[in-house]
Structure 1
Amino acid sequence: MGSDDGFIEIIDVTKAFGPADRRVYALGGVAATIRRGEFFTLLGPSGCGKTTLLRLIAGFELPTSGEIRLDGQEIGHLPPFRRPVNTVFQNYALFPHMTVAQNIGFGLEMLGKPKADIAATVERMLALVKMTDLAGRRTDQLSGGQQQRVALARALAPQPKVLLLDEPLSALDLKLRKEMQVELKRIQLETGITFIFVTHDQEEALTMSDRIAVMSGGKILQIGSPREIYAHPTNRFVADFIGETNFIRARVQGGKAIVGGEVEVPLPAAPAQGEVTLAIRPEHLRLVAKGTAGALTATVGDAVYFGTDSHVHLTLGDGTGIVVRQQTDPDGREGPAPGSVLGVSFPPAAVQVLED
């Protein structure tokens, strides 16, 4: 049996398509360990390989090389029906001529479960997804959010060890999507089943996940908790893809980053010397008076008002554009005037030195 820390092990997995002389790699040497009972998210832009990896775990595709282990068993070449895994698809794939209860019980019937067991499981699943009152309604008479709940209940009914979710919220409107994010996390916690969730939406990943694997170009670039991924990105792609980030060139000398030739930032772990890229989140920057000690000098371009906050766009002396995020003033005062020259300060702890 596998340990909780290595419930699912993806070991140097590659996936190639096409003949040997024109082979295209969708995944190249992917490795990850997923823990028992966690909400694990594969996050990345279209074409990064996240859905391919999900399909490999499900058994809809077979790896070109490498291993996939589930609870200590190598499953990489098993067909889908022999894996303790279920999938919720983007389009839900419900049976429109069946009721909600019939859809939820369908997989159990195919497994030959006794009718009494099926009825008890369906009732439990209806309560879990809060749809008991709609048990007798046909699925083509449901809203998108209700259909999503039915698909989830149907996938959970056979009690799989792992539930795979392929962008299941993408068809919902913004308000419903946010509600379903909360519901999905609640259901995952209540069932204790390992969820592997695929999305390109950074907010979904940050709000729902125990850990996130950020993918690009068929590789996993970083795995960590939402807080780790956001606060401590290891490279420029991750920093740029997760939220908004300012990238500022600096020169390292004597354990300090010299920015714009005017500000020295102490770096606890930095190369001995040379050019580096610093990443600083917009919410960690502060506008101060020009000439303030330790502040960069910048010229205001414009300010974009978002209601809860404003994004002030500025230009540093070397032409680098940066953004400062400011909370909206409760007095309703306007932000700094375009063309004004201000200082921009930040705590050294907010600075990340990135691999280019």
Structure 2
Amino acid sequence: MTTAISARSLRKVYPGTPPVEALAGADLDIQDNEFFTLLGPSGCGKTTLLRMIAGFEHPTSGSLDMFGASLLDLPPYKRPINTVFQSYALFPHLTVSQNIAFGLEMLGKPKTEIKETVAQMVDLVQMSELADRQTGQISGGQQQRVALARALAPKPRVLLLDEPLSALDFKLRKEMQLELKRLQTETGITFIFVTHDQEEALTMSDRIAVMNAGSIRQIGAPRDIYDHPAERFVADFIGDTNFLSAQITSSNADRARVDLSSGESTSARLPEGGARDGQVTLAIRPEHAKLVMPDDGLLRGTLENIVYFGTDTHIHLRLTDGTPFTLRQQNNSETELQFAKGDTAGIRFAPDVAQVLKD
């Protein structure tokens, strides 16, 4: 597989008193024709990294290559990269077609090529019927499609997307998540997407880099990141997670036997390079646990709250040692909650759904 973007020890420090390290030695490889997401909270360094790939920021140190050649000496306009920003920056007095054609005209492309490319782009983003309408007269979701078409028209090798869905309402954002993935698949262009929305990242990405405090904490496929978080920050940031204290009693290559606070014992997965003895923290996803009778559980707790969410119900308990614990039960015609607020219940989960976390 061909590597599109490669970074080694990439660092960015902004001067000040004290200096601000926005990116602390990032190492990553993004493959050609990959939908790759930089995910993390505000200020984690994801937009700084994106801007360095675009050429809008220059690293303090480290290397940054594109298809094996250094990007560091290339100005933004010479990089085969386009960017879609949060604000779409369309020309409201121009039509959809004219907005898409603008960048091609600036590149000096022949008129026949521009006409053909614009026709292809409006068809690709399903805007053919609105091609002659001014962009100031179309909806936010339609404007987002035009911005994408304009960025894709010059056929960049890499497309950068800086939280482009943040201004859309919930339902439209869901639709555009699927639309973005479709566009990436059909064009074969490498997409690098920046977001702080975990659901967006899980929905669209081939791989995700979870970032915090200027560093990359974990890189992996969405399922790997969700089911096998390497550390507490990743487990806590990606979805809902229960954290339990436990004691490792024995371990092998990738599994450990742990004692819970209740005195019960179970099996848990070990992260690569993780602890193999002593006191550890376990992560258990709410959907991986279920309520049972008090004497049948690995843990025991009191139901403090029951919240109905339509598709599922969230059940909040307080364990006997004071630790909060949440379960998620899917709602269907065959499931009915057998417990009420204030009841004592047991909690069970299958062997190996618990993940031992790194410190």
Normalization by structure 2: what TM-score? 0.95
What one-letter code is carried by the residue in structure 2 that aligns with 1:8? I
Aligned counterpart in structure 2 of residue 17 of structure 1, from 5, 14, 17 = 14
Normalization by structure 1: what TM-score? 0.96
What one-letter code is carried by the residue in structure 2 that aligns with 1:169? L
Distance 2:117 2:215 in 1: 39
What one-letter code is carried by the residue in structure 2 that aligns with 1:282? P
Superposed CA deviations along residues 194-224 of structure 1, whole A, max 9, x for unmatched, are: 0000001111000100000000000000000
Distance 1:243 1:198 in 2: 17
Secondary structure of residue in 1 paired with 2:154: coil
Superposed CA deviations along residues 284-322 of structure 1, whole A, max 9, x for unmatched, are: 001011111x52111111111111111111111110000
Distance 2:167 2:338 in 1: 37
Length, aligned pairs only: 351
Superposed CA deviations along residues 225-273 of structure 1, whole A, max 9, x for unmatched, are: 0000000000000000001000000111133210014210134647443
Structure 1 equivalent of residue 157 of structure 2: 161
Superposed CA deviations along residues 90-120 of structure 1, whole A, max 9, x for unmatched, are: 0001011111101001011011110000000
| Aligned residues of 2:240 and 2:285 also touching (Cα < 8 A) | yes
Aligned counterpart in structure 2 of residue 136 of structure 1, from 129, 132, 138 = 132
Distance 1:66 1:271 in 2: 31
Aligned counterpart in structure 1 of residue 287 of structure 2, from 259, 271, 283 = 283
Distance 1:273 1:25 in 2: 35
| Aligned residues of 1:62 and 1:77 also touching (Cα < 8 A) | no
Structure 1 equivalent of residue 95 of structure 2: 99
Structure 2 unaligned segments of length 5 or more: list them. Answer: 252-256
What one-letter code is carried by the residue in structure 2 that aligns with 1:6? T
Tell me by how many angstroms 1:11 deviates.
1.0
| Aligned residues of 2:286 and 2:326 also touching (Cα < 8 A) | yes
- Pair 1:320–1:63, CA change in 2 (3 A): same
Matched, 1:126 2:122: yes
| Aligned residues of 1:99 and 1:138 also touching (Cα < 8 A) | yes
What one-letter code is carried by the residue in structure 2 that aligns with 1:121? T
Distance 1:332 1:238 in 2: 31
Matched, 1:317 2:313: no
Distance 1:182 1:313 in 2: 32
| Aligned residues of 2:262 and 2:298 also touching (Cα < 8 A) | no
Structure 2 equivalent of residue 54 of structure 1: 50
Distance 2:295 2:2 in 1: 52
Structure 1 equivalent of residue 254 of structure 2: none
Matched, 1:343 2:350: no
Distance 2:250 2:60 in 1: 48
Structure 1 equivalent of residue 357 of structure 2: 354
| Aligned residues of 1:59 and 1:77 also touching (Cα < 8 A) | no
Structure 1 unaligned segments of length 5 or more: list them. Answer: none
What one-letter code is carried by the residue in structure 2 that aligns with 1:313? H
What one-letter code is carried by the residue in structure 1 that aligns with 2:4? F
Distance 2:205 2:230 in 1: 19
Q: Which runs of 4 or more aligned residues in structure 1 lie more than 3 Å from their structure 2 counterparts after TM superposition?
A: 267-272, 331-335
| Aligned residues of 1:213 and 1:221 also touching (Cα < 8 A) | yes
Structure 1 equivalent of residue 81 of structure 2: 85
Secondary structure of residue in 1 paired with 2:295: coil
Matched, 1:204 2:207: no
What one-letter code is carried by the residue in structure 1 that aligns with 2:344? V
Matched, 1:263 2:264: yes
Superposed CA deviations along residues 54-112 of structure 1, whole A, max 9, x for unmatched, are: 00000011111111100111002321001000000100010111111010010110111
Q: How does 1:297-312 map to 2 (within 5 A)?
A: 297-312=300-315
What one-letter code is carried by the residue in structure 2 that aligns with 1:325? R
